[in-house]
Amino acid sequence: MEAMAAAKPVIKVAALCGSLREGSYNRGLLRYAMELTKEEIDGIQIDYIDISPLPMLNTDLEVNGKYPPVVEAFRQRILAADSILFASPEYNYSVTGPLKNAIDWASRSPNVFANKAAAIVSVAGSLGGARAQYHYRQIGVYLDLHFINKPEFFLNAYESPAKFDSDGNLIDPASKKRMKNVLLALQAFTLQLRGKC
């Protein structure tokens, strides 16, 4: 009797959105990613983390080496993840304030991003958020956060035909395929970093 094939390890992905807007297209990308992991891709669990409750970084809030409860809960969810999926628009050619704030809280000692795999996708105008993505990648170097190099995902939301419906859900078939490829690459890279492939 042939040995049964080993089950693929399940990786936990923390998903963070750089926009706080309810109808954010970037949040729509994360919703679609979660759909993919339930319907088409085995071995990935996505934990969407709402960053809106986090206070602005202020080290005065760190008392006796402890963080505010909402910050500590956020940090624990990042720590429990195997990898990170960022979805972010571009503000003034760069990163968004809310996501940078979340990153800064997570990077406080001990840095809970350290040695994790990561991917970033973005929806914006013009270049689709490319300039912001490269700034996030630079930040990742200091955080010891390892971004996948390819595939890259930049999406200009305002080109025709429409990429999202009126509720902010991704409807463009080509973009859906690209999102799937990003997740598969993140999964493979995460397993490689963990020595599980």
pLDDT tens track for 111-129 = 999 999 999 999 998 888 9
First vs last Cα of the chain: how many Å apart?
25
Distance CA 163, CA 150 (A): 22
Count of domains observed in the chain = 1
Distance CA 4, CA 191 (A): 20
Residue 1 within a domain: no
What is the domain-level CATH number for residue 31? 3.40.50.360
Residue 4 within a domain: no
Q: Where in the sequence is the domain holding 136, given as residue range(s)?
A: 15-193
Residue 8 within a domain: no
Q: Which of 120, 72, 124 is nearest to 99 (CA)?
A: 120
What's the confidence (pLDDT) of residue 2? 47
Residue 154 within a domain: yes
pLDDT tens track for 78-111 = 999 999 999 999 999 999 999 999 999 999 999 9
- Global pTM reads 0.94
Q: Which of 172, 21, 137 is nearest to 89 (CA)?
A: 21
What's the confidence (pLDDT) of residue 6? 61
Q: Which of 169, 151, 159, 86 is nearest to 124 (CA)?
A: 159
CA angle 104, 109, 112 (to 5 degrees): 70
Between 45 and 196, the more confident residue is: 45
What's the confidence (pLDDT) of residue 158? 86
Residue 3 within a domain: no
Confidence of residue 4 (pLDDT cuts 50, 70, 90): low
